[in-house]
Amino acid sequence: MKKDKFVLGIDFGTESGRVVIFRLRDGEEVAAEVVPYPDGVIDEKLPGGPELEPDWALQNPRDYFLVLEKGVPKSLRAAGLKADEVVGIGTDFTGSTPLATRKDGTPLCLLRKYRREPHAWPKLWKHHAAQPEANRINEIGRERDEDFIRIYGGKYSSEWFFSKVLQVLNEAPAIYAAADKFIEGADWIVWQLTGEEKRNSSSAGYKAMWVKGKGFPSPDFFRAVHPRLECVGKEKLSRDFYSPGTRAGGLTAYWARRTGLKEGTPVCTGILDGHVAAPAMTVTQPGSLALIMGTSLCHMLQGTKQQTVEGICGAVEDGMVPGFWGYEAGQYAVGDLFAWFFKQGVPESIFREARKVKIPFTAELERRAAALQPGASGLLALDWWNGNRSLLIDADLTGLVLGVSLATRPEEIYRALIEATAFGTRLIIEAFENAGLASNTLVACGGLPEKNKLLMQIYADITGREIKLAKQLQTCSALGAAMFGAVAAGAYASIFEAAEHMAHLQNLTYRSRPEHHEIYNQLYEEYKTLHDYFGRGSNDVMKRLKGLRTEEIVT
- Residue among 484, 417, 471 nearest 445 (CA): 471
For position 386 contacting its own copies by CB under 8 A, the verdict is: yes
Provide the mask over 49-68, with x wherever binding to its own copies is found by CB under 8 A and - wherever it is not.
-----x--------------
Per DSSP, what are the bridge partners of residue 327?
Answer: 301, 315
Provide the mask over 280-319, with x wherever binding to its own copies is found by CB under 8 A and - wherever it is not.
----------------------------------------
CA 122 to chain centre: 16
Q: Least CB distance from residue 465 to its own copies, whole Å?
A: 19
Q: How many CB atoms lie within 10 A of CB 430?
A: 15
For position 517 contacting its own copies by CB under 8 A, the verdict is: no
Provide the mask over 398-437, with x wherever binding to its own copies is found by CB under 8 A and - wherever it is not.
xxxxxxxxxxxxx---------------------------
For position 363 contacting its own copies by CB under 8 A, the verdict is: no
Q: Least CB distance from residue 363 to its own copies, whole Å?
A: 16
Q: Which is nearer to its own copies, 366 or 396 (CB)?
A: 396
Stretch that binds its own copies, among 74-82, 305-313, 393-401, 468-476 (CB under 8 A): 393-401
Instruction: Tell me which residues in 158-177 interact with its own copies (CB under 8 A).
Output: none
Cβ-based neighbours of 226, under 8 Å, separated by 6 or more: 136, 166, 169, 170
- Written in H, E and C, the secondary structure of 68-131 is HHHHHHHHHHHHCCCHHHEEEEEEEECCCCEEEECCCCCEHHHCHHHCCCHHHCCECCCCCCCH
CB 58 within 8 A of CB 458: no
Q: Rounded distance, CA 368 to CA 487, Å?
A: 47
For position 1 contacting its own copies by CB under 8 A, the verdict is: no
Provide the mask over 323-362, with x wherever binding to its own copies is found by CB under 8 A and - wherever it is not.
----------x--xx--x--xxxxxxx-x-----------
For position 394 contacting its own copies by CB under 8 A, the verdict is: no
Task: Report long-range pairs for 232-235 (Cβ below 8 Å, ≥24 apart).
Answer: 232/162, 232/165, 232/182
Strands 29-36 and 266-268: unpaired
CB 311 within 8 A of CB 404: no
Q: Which of 272, 379, 470, 499 binds its own copies (CB under 8 A)?
A: 379
Please state, in angstroms and as integers, the Cα–Cα distance from residue 19 to each residue in 68, 147, 274, 554, following that order: 8, 38, 16, 50
Q: Rounded distance, CA 300 to CA 284, Å?
A: 10
Stretch that binds its own copies, among 11-19, 89-97, 175-183, 509-517 (CB under 8 A): 509-517
Q: Least CB distance from residue 97 to its own copies, whole Å?
A: 19
Please state, in angstroms and as integers, the Cα–Cα distance from residue 64 to each residue in 11, 71, 129, following that order: 10, 10, 23
Q: Rounded distance, CA 21 to CA 10, Å?
A: 9
Stretch that binds its own copies, among 106-114, 274-282, 379-387, 498-506 (CB under 8 A): 379-387
Q: Which of 17, 374, 424, 535 binds its own copies (CB under 8 A)?
A: 374
Stretch that binds its own copies, among 139-147, 196-204, 261-269, 518-526 (CB under 8 A): 518-526
Strands 325-331 and 380-382: unpaired
Q: Residue count at the site for its own copies (CB under 8 A)?
A: 59
Q: Least CB distance from residue 447 to its own copies, whole Å?
A: 17
Q: Which is nearer to its own copies, 44 or 500 (CB)?
A: 44
For position 38 contacting its own copies by CB under 8 A, the verdict is: no
Q: Rounded distance, CA 430 to CA 404, Å?
A: 28
For position 138 contacting its own copies by CB under 8 A, the verdict is: no
Q: Least CB distance from residue 546 to its own copies, whole Å?
A: 5
CB 286 within 8 A of CB 327: no
- Residue among 328, 334, 331, 305 nearest 317 (CA): 305
C-alpha neighbours within 13 Å on the C-beta side of residue 506? 18
Q: Which is nearer to its own copies, 507 or 550 (CB)?
A: 550
Stretch that binds its own copies, among 94-102, 246-254, 420-428, 514-522 (CB under 8 A): 514-522
Q: Which is nearer to its own copies, 285 or 539 (CB)?
A: 539
Given phi > 0 = left and psi -120 to 50 = alpha, else beta, which region is 263?
beta
For position 17 contacting its own copies by CB under 8 A, the verdict is: no
Q: Least CB distance from residue 24 to its own copies, whole Å?
A: 40
For position 371 contacting its own copies by CB under 8 A, the verdict is: no
Residue 132 identity (one-letter amino acid): P
Q: Least CB distance from residue 305 to its own copies, whole Å?
A: 37
Provide the mask over 204-243, with x wherever binding to its own copies is found by CB under 8 A and - wherever it is not.
----------------------------------------
Q: Rounded distance, CA 229 to CA 168, Å?
A: 11
For position 380 contacting its own copies by CB under 8 A, the verdict is: yes
Stretch that binds its own copies, among 131-139, 180-188, 424-432, 528-536 (CB under 8 A): 528-536
Q: Rounded distance, CA 507 to CA 518, Å?
A: 26
**Is residue 288 classed as helix, strand or coil in its secondary structure?**
strand
Residue 224 identity (one-letter amino acid): A
Q: Which is nearer to its own copies, 385 or 432 (CB)?
A: 385
Cβ-based neighbours of 218, under 8 Å, separated by 6 or more: none
Residues binding its own copies (CB under 8 A)? 54, 333, 336-337, 340, 343-349, 351, 373-380, 385-386, 398-410, 513, 515-516, 519, 522-523, 526, 529-530, 533-534, 539, 541-542, 544-546, 548-549, 551-553, 555
